[in-house]
């Protein structure tokens, strides 16, 4: 499965367009991390735990998008975009979406 945020992939031709696919996940931070983040809000600096958490969640959203694309018979997702929104205090939604297509190699 090819995942890219380009609209045209070099060396490939789009043979079928299958529409929008998406994947999302809502994650909450656990209390220990929240307390550490509270301290960091005084000192400033990077919140490594959050960076990792969001990175993992984003992978998860991508995986779900990939599964959806596979289910409809696509072999690539083009023009992928990410979006993040904080829903409530302590929870964030990570969202990935793109266009599922069937690609064919050209020579």
Partner 1 sequence: MSELIIFISLMLTGYIFGQMAERGHYRSILRREEAFRERVLLMPVRTPPPLQRGCTTRLVTGSAVISVDYFKRFVAGLRNLFGGRITTYESLLDRARREAILRMQKRAHAAGATMVVNLKLETASISKGIGDSIGSVEVLAYGTAIIPHREP
The binding site for partner 1 (CB under 8 A) comprises: 2-11, 29, 37, 40-48, 50-51, 54-55, 58, 80-86, 89-90, 92
Minimal distance, residue 67 CB to partner 1, in Å: 16
User: Is 7 or 32 the residue whose CB approaches partner 1 more closely?
Assistant: 7
Using left for φ > 0, alpha for ψ between -120 and 50, and beta otherwise, residue 7 falls in alpha
Q: Give the tokens for residue 81.
A: 């975009």
User: Is 16 or 48 the residue whose CB approaches partner 1 more closely?
Assistant: 48
User: Is 4 or 75 the residue whose CB approaches partner 1 more closely?
Assistant: 4
Minimal distance, residue 9 CB to partner 1, in Å: 6
The CA angle 81-76-58, to the nearest 5 degrees, is 40
Nearby residues of 29 by Cβ (< 8 Å), 6 or more positions away = 37, 49, 50, 53, 90, 91
């Amino acid at each position: 499965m090819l995942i890219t945020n380009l609209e045209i992939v070099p060396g490939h031709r789009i043979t079928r367009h299958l529409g929008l696919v998406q994947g999302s996940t809502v994650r909450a931070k656990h209390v220990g991390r929240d307390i550490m983040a509270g301290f960091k809000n005084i000192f400033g600096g990077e919140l490594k735990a959050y960076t990792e958490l969001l990175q993992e969640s984003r992978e998860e959203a991508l995986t779900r998008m990939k599964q959806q694309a596979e289910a409809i018979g696509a072999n690539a997702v083009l023009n992928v975009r990410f979006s993040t929104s904080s829903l409530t205090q302590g929870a964030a939604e990570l969202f990935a979406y793109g266009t599922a297509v069937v690609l064919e190699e050209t020579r």
